């Protein structure tokens, strides 16, 4: 039995439709069902590559972390089929209108935010993990480079001083936030 994590990290520079990343994650999870016996895991990963100066929506998909996993055809098949499925949904507008969020907190692999997306509760863009030391400049970029409805804070997945700093930042800019 193989443990093959498939992680999704989102980053882009222009104002983007956050549904892209969540639709891709859901498609990857659906195609992953074909390989249950291989025990693949599909999850969001916290941002550690951006924000950037890219002008197109960009996603980083990691299929495992060793050459053995990279050579597994099934992992590539899941990702490839999910990309085609997501592009078809986007071009046909065949996806539900859900609230769009930027997420803060949790660990590197963001299981709480992954679960919200897989349950069709929202679309998630940037995920800033608990360990990230995010400057005000980066916070400004995050809110300028995405269209979103509100910010989600993983209440148990954030340090107390970071919660206070983020909340003050959001309140100063009239940005709605919720705890999860």
Give the CATH number of the domain where residue 153 resides.
Answer: 3.40.50.10700
178, β-bridge pairs: 152
Q: Using the CB atoms, write b or e for 3-16: b if 16+ within 10 Å.
A: ebbbbbbbbbbeeb
User: Which residue is it, tokens 């592009």?
Assistant: 87
Total-model pTM:
0.87
Residue 160 structural domain:
4-179
User: How far is CA 27 from each of CA 9, 22, 113, 117, 128, rounded to the nearest angstrom?
Assistant: 15, 9, 16, 11, 23
Helix (H, G, I), strand (E, B) or coil at 80: helix
Cα–Cα distance measured from residue 129 to residue 28, given in angstroms and rounded to the nearest whole number: 22
Please tell me whether residue 159 adopts helix, strand or coil conformation: coil
Residue 175 CA from chain centroid, whole number = 20
Length of the chain: 180
pLDDT of residue 4: 43
How many domains in the chain? 1
What whole-number distance in Å separates Cα of residue 27 and Cα of residue 175? 30
Give the residue among 97, 99, 98 at the shortest CA–CA distance from 176: 99
Residue with tokens 């100063």: 172
pLDDT in tens, the chain (180 residues): 344 444 445 554 445 566 788 999 999 999 999 888 777 888 888 875 555 666 666 777 888 778 888 888 998 899 999 999 998 998 898 899 999 999 999 988 889 999 999 999 999 988 899 998 889 998 998 888 788 999 999 999 999 999 999 999 999 999 999 999
């Amino acid at each position: 039995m193989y443990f093959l994590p498939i992680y999704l990290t989102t980053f882009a520079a222009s104002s983007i439709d956050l549904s892209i990343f969540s639709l891709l994650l859901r498609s990857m999870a659906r195609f992953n069902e074909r390989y249950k016996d291989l025990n693949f895991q599909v999850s969001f990963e916290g941002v550690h590559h951006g924000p950037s100066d890219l002008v197109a929506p960009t996603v980083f998909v990691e299929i495992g972390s060793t050459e053995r996993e990279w050579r597994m055809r099934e992992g590539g098949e899941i990702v490839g089929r999910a990309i085609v499925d997501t592009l078809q949904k986007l071009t046909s507008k065949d996806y539900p209108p859900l609230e769009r969020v930027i997420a803060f907190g949790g660990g590197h692999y963001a299981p709480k935010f992954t679960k919200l997306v897989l349950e069709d509760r929202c679309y998630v863009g940037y995920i800033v993990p608990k360990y990230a030391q995010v400057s005000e400049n980066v916070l400004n970029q995050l809110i300028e480079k995405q269209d979103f409805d509100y910010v989600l804070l993983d209440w148990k997945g954030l340090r107390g001083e970071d919660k206070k700093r983020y909340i003050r930042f959001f309140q100063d800019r009239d940005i709605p936030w919720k705890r999860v």
